[in-house]
Structure 1
């Protein structure tokens, strides 16, 4: 039995995570982190290819249900499982994951399935400079204009400004801003390289800093996802 390894690939607007080798309890935190990072990047779906996987037992497979529950507060990206061998499929049923996640016989079937419709997505890499909030704000306003969501532009601009300002000042690492339009929600997230939770502050600065209290007042929901090399702070705005 080989040690567990994984690869992450893009298939159209979906992310495919291939798990290969022997999945044991010590691997659970790493797998959880990889899946959360993929979900935070907001593809139309994350498909986990289990065709090359063997497992120590059903307990390790509860990681999939745990990841789904940890992202349930926001309009989460669908997590799909595919290609399990008979042994792993039986362990999935015993773990209870089959009751919470769609399971497909093959990767091809999963990729052809209907996921949550992702209409559009924009990303921007930023350094933690004083200009970062303004650049993120311009991205949000341009996105709303391009996607005919002009009425959301003021709120989206405020939310992304505060998320980026908070990350730039407190994390001090490179940032990735993602803005995605999916169905009834505009999804905004900022990923940084610090595992420290965001700081709630009401101290204003020229480019924001009025704090996540403002995010809370504008967004229909927001939260934090831990990822392997930091965290992702997300917020959603209803489009209807």
Structure 2
């Protein structure tokens, strides 16, 4: 968490705020959160509802706590901003797009996994003319690098139950059912992410959930985006 906090405090854009959803951690960790929030009012925290465990249930609490006009980023404690101006550049893009026409519902940037001090695999959304076509061809917005706007939340304001590892994929797939959804990509490396996590070891469950998400979005055509998704990841790993 120190790397996350330091990267946020150093941002040239200062209008951000952070809500920590804390699971069943001990009193020492919660004392640290209390002190952090006392020192900087941009930080807040709340305990996670014990009746709804898991990372995506915590993120649903973030959805529920957001003000109507907020733009949301879901980061974990081992994610961080890679440069001092990334939030400023993202918000400037949103302002420019809003001035030109209607604001986007999703602003999709890029991310990168990092192991130690070595940069690893990049995460990016490959645009193929339309949002739904891009998803069908196997690409997905990386959730840590995607700002979720008020328009997207007015359509879908919770991750679906039953997904422990792939609720973010299901969320973006369900949004593509609306042809009026406005999606904008931005060539900006917004976030760095530490390698690891539960989804990196529970391979079988993840594959099952990914299949279910594509079935919900594309019906009997689900094998095409499913196979293309992993073909792209294989090629990305080789690059």
TM-score range, shorter chain: under 0.3
> Between Structure 1 and Structure 2, whose CA radius of gyration is higher?
1
Higher helix proportion: 2
Q: Which structure would you say has the larger RCO, counting Cα contacts within 8 Å and 6 or more residues apart?
A: 2
